[in-house]
Amino acid sequence: MAMKPLKKPRSYSDFTSEHLYQMFGVETIMQALDLGNKPLAPSEWLLSTLEKSEILPMISEKAKSELLIMPVILELAHREPNKFSCFSGSTFDVDAAQSLKGRCDFLLTKQRVVRISAPIIAVFEAKDDNIDHWYGQCGAEMLAARIFNEERNEPITIIHGAVTNGREWRFLRLEGARLLIDTEIYSLSNLPKLLGVLQGLIDFYHTDNA
């Protein structure tokens, strides 16, 4: 039976996994990903910052981004000041005709730059507790990042992503026509393991893997 055509999304936030398949032939697959397994001890600054964040309510995605996610990214940026840049809440319009447009919560570039520049290596989305609902949006942003790179002759085709509610992280990887969703969820409750995975993601693009 033929798949019923879906209503065209207006922007990234409307995308589902079905949109990715029907519009771009990208298949969503649950699969264990090799994201690095070397725990990274958090600094006292990060532990203290996350502890203090608990004082404030974190109901909105914006609050989670500011109080839980950005401190983790800052921790990595301090350790690796020249290996990536992070852009928060930026508009990222790549192909309006294909609805690959809108705002991304976090875009990571390979180098330390002052504006969004190719190559983009990862996209993180801050969402509610229903993490599974947002793979389509994150996948669309990852696909747009790959197109953005290709249009600028930056041949990084493997793009990473994550959907997180601030406390739990699910990682994704776009390889060819497959959007791979990791079977494991990483959590702030095991911060060294989460930091190790994020560090492994950054390191991936500074080896011959990408």
Report pLDDT digits (tens) over 109-136: 999 999 999 999 999 999 888 888 999 9
With a cut of 70, say whether residue 159 has pLDDT above it: yes
Rounded to an integer, what distance in angstroms lies between the CA atom of residue 156 and that of residue 163?
Answer: 21
What is residue 208's predicted lDDT score, i.e. its pLDDT?
Answer: 67
Q: Kindly state the average pLDDT of the residues 184-201.
A: 95
With a cut of 70, say whether residue 89 has pLDDT above it: yes
For residue 5, tell me if it sits in a domain. no
Q: Which residues neighbour 34 within 8 Å (Cβ) at sequence distance 6 or greater?
A: none
pLDDT in tens, 37-87: 799 999 999 999 999 998 988 788 888 899 999 999 999 999 988 899 999
Q: Kindly state the average pLDDT of the residues 82-102.
A: 96
Using 50, 70 and 90 to split pLDDT, how confident is the model at 3? low
Within its chain, how far is the Cα of 110 from the centroid? 13
What is residue 6's predicted lDDT score, i.e. its pLDDT?
Answer: 84
User: How many independent structural domains does the chain possess?
Assistant: 1
With a cut of 90, say whether residue 200 has pLDDT above it: yes
For residue 1, tell me if it sits in a domain. no
For residue 136, tell me if it sits in a domain. yes
What is residue 2's predicted lDDT score, i.e. its pLDDT?
Answer: 53
**Domain CATH number, residue 138:** 3.90.1570
For residue 3, tell me if it sits in a domain. no
For residue 7, tell me if it sits in a domain. no
For residue 2, tell me if it sits in a domain. no
With a cut of 50, say whether residue 10 has pLDDT above it: yes
Share of the chain above pLDDT 90, in %: 79
Q: Which domain holds residue 99?
A: 12-204
Instruction: Let me know how long the chain is.
Output: 210
Using 50, 70 and 90 to split pLDDT, how confident is the model at 5? confident
For residue 97, tell me if it sits in a domain. yes
What is residue 1's predicted lDDT score, i.e. its pLDDT?
Answer: 44
For residue 210, tell me if it sits in a domain. no
Q: Are residues 120 and 160 in contact, defined by beta-carbon separation less than 8 angstroms? A: no
